[in-house]
């Protein structure tokens, strides 16, 4: 009897202990949930506050530049002109580009941006920087949309798309462009860059010159586009301060990612231009993921070697003396533009002069010792930087 009572009392005590423990754990869980929720709400408020401030900052800047800015459209206008985004022209990290039509029947390209990054610098650059320009070799911004989370840029429509489609051997469309057409495109791009560097009241540094960002109209007249990474600076300033690296691997000047090579300036665009016209002549990318990594040649070294040996560069199109002369000029100018020391590169005004002048007056530059690197199979295609060439 006594043992039975003791067992009952023991079970009751165990139940009491377990109940108390369960109650304590429940209270702790409730407190933990409350703390997490409170922190989450606090972070959310900070996030939305920062986001709201970013939008307001962009709005304020747009108002300050209202006299320079093109027409502003609502998001419903954008949907209407693109027929609810029916025809997609292209896609990138920024978002998508759709074909559109204005009320007057003019065809346009509508660039719909994914989101407002950071302080909205890229969107502001596109609207403010390009709105200051007016040149036959600079794409025209016809309007923009900044409404809540929706942002879009309306450009003139370029029926032939980007230069990238026409300059690499693996693209069948390359056969449509002869050497002389490529040469005229190179000259047009150089004039557009010269205008950005010298023709505006504020010098505009593009920082992302590459074939993808050069658009071609129906007559293959080139127009520089995509000013998302651009930087405005006074004409008198030759060197600018730049936080971090900007641009696309393969076209980034050495000083942009390593200041020991020199100061960042308009000469950084010159480097990108030089690498691009060497690609146009060579018919291949300076960084090509499709090339066998064990036999990949240093691209400018490959170009320079053929210049020294006066070898054919395997370009498509009709071969004649005038076309060969144009190609040779592009090679020499391109090699001058990619000199490691920025002070050894010509200004874009000199580049135009060299391209339009006599080839006999051009001196062959020193052999380049910087270019795209050799890669090991384990390396990612996004980790290309500049290395020494033998």
Catalytic sites, residue numbers: 208
Question: In the chain, which ranges are continuous DSSP H helix?
Answer: 2-64, 75-81, 121-124, 130-131, 179-194, 254-257, 267-282, 299-309, 321-337, 348-356
Distance CA 147, CA 145 (A): 6
Query: For residue 56, what are its two tokens?
Result: 């307001």
Residue 24 phi/psi, 5-degree rounding, is -65, -45
For residue 110, what is the enclosing H or E element? strand 107-113
Contact 384, 291 (CB under 8 A): no
Tell me the DSSP string of 233-253. EETT--SB---S--S-TTT--
Backbone angles phi, psi at 25, to 5 degrees: -65, -40
Distance of alpha carbon 227 from alpha carbon 209, whole angstroms: 9
Query: Which phi and psi angles does 189 have, rounded to 5°?
Result: -65, -40
Q: 92 forms bridges with which residues in the sheet?
A: 95
DSSP 390: -
């Amino acid at each position: 009897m006594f043992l039975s009572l003791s067992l009952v009392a023991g079970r009751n005590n165990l139940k009491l202990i377990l109940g108390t423990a369960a109650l304590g754990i429940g209270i702790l869980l409730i407190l933990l949930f409350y703390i997490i929720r409170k922190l989450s709400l606090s972070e959310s408020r900070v996030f939305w506050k920062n986001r709201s401030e970013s939008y307001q900052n962009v709005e304020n800047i747009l108002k300050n530049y209202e006299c320079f800015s093109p027409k502003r459209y609502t998001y419903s206008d954008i949907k209407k002109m693109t027929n609810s985004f029916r025809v997609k022209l292209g896609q990138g990290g920024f978002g998508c580009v759709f074909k559109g039509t204005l009320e007057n029947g003019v065809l346009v390209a509508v660039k719909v941006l994914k989101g407002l990054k950071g302080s909205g610098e890229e969107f502001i650059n596109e609207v403010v920087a390009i709105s200051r320009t007016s040149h036959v070799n600079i794409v025209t911004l016809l309007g923009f949309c900044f409404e809540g989370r929706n942002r879009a840029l309306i450009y003139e429509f370029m029926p032939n798309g980007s230069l990238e489609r026409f300059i690499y051997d693996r693209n069948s469309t390359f056969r449509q462009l002869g050497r002389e057409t490529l040469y005229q495109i190179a000259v047009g791009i150089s004039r557009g860059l010269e205008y950005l560097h010298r023709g505006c009241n504020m010098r505009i540094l593009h920082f992302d010159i590459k074939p993808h960002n050069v658009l071609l109209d129906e007559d293959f007249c080139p127009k520089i586009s995509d000013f998302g990474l651009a930087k405005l600076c006074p004409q008198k300033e030759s060197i600018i301060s730049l936080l971090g690296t900007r641009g696309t691997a393969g076209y980034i000047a050495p000083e942009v990612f390593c200041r020991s090579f020199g100061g960042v300036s308009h000469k950084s665009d010159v480097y990108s231009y030089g690498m691009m016209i060497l690609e146009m002549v060579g018919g291949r990318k300076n960084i090509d993921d499709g090339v066998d990594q064990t036999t990949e040649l240093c691209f400018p070294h490959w170009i320079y070697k053929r210049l020294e040996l006066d070898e054919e560069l395997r370009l498509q199109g009709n071969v004649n003396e005038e076309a060969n002369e144009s190609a040779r000029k592009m090679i020499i100018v391109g090699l001058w533009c990619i000199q490691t020391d920025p002070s050894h590169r010509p200004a874009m005004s000199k580049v135009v002069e060299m391209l339009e002048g006599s080839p006999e007056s051009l001196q062959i530059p020193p052999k380049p010792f910087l270019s795209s690197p050799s890669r090991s199979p384990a390396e990612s295609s996004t980790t290309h930087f500049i290395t020494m060439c033998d």
